[in-house]
């Protein structure tokens, strides 16, 4: 199984006088070919990881997730078969979006000293009553 990811470079914005005043990072565009037809995000929500903390490992049997760290930096570890794949996202990693397909266990890890803000863009949309979070064992991952 191939896990897809996509880089989102910064685009510098400028004020009326032409001097840089910030930047924007396009995360989702309906015309983007990154998302398979029928798998486009149906929701966008923010999850925050405290410094040096982890969420997971767990897996979803109903939904696919697309994760993009927009503040701070995270490591996203996926278990594909018996192997692990590591993807980086965040300010130091070109705001990479990582697809986590249905049935693939994942672990999100904040690798920095500040809160990490991660957008999750699932399909289908998540609801609190969905009951689609299942434990996964990454005991053989190592340090």
pTM for the full model?
Answer: 0.90
pLDDT tens sequence across 2-30: 788 898 889 999 999 999 999 999 898 88
What's the CA gap between 91 and 87, in Å, rounded?
A: 13
Provide the sign of the torsion angle of the four alpha carbons 38, 42, 112, 56, taken in this order. negative
> What phi and psi, each to the nearest 5 degrees, are found at residue 123?
-145, 120
In the CATH scheme, what is the code of domain 5-135? 2.60.120.10
To the nearest whole number, what is the mean pLDDT of the chain? 93
Residue 143: the pLDDT is 59
pLDDT tens sequence across 111-133: 999 999 999 999 999 888 999 99
């Amino acid at each position: 199984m191939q896990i897809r990811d996509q880089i989102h470079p910064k685009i510098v914005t400028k004020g009326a006088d032409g001097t840089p005043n910030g930047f924007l990072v396009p995360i989702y565009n309906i015309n983007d070919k990154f998302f398979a037809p029928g798998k486009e995000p149906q929701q966008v929500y923010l999850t925050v990881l405290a410094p040096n903390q982890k969420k997971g490992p767990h897996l979803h049997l109903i939904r696919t997730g697309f994760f993009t760290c927009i503040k701070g930096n995270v490591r996203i570890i996926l278990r594909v078969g018996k192997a692990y794949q590591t993807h980086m996202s965040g300010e130091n990693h070109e705001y990479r979006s990582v697809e986590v397909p249905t049935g693939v266990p994942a672990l999100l890890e904040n690798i920095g000293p500040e809160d990490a803000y991660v957008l999750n863009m699932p399909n289908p949309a998540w609801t609190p009553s969905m009951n689609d979070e299942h434990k996964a064992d990454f005991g053989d991952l190592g340090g």
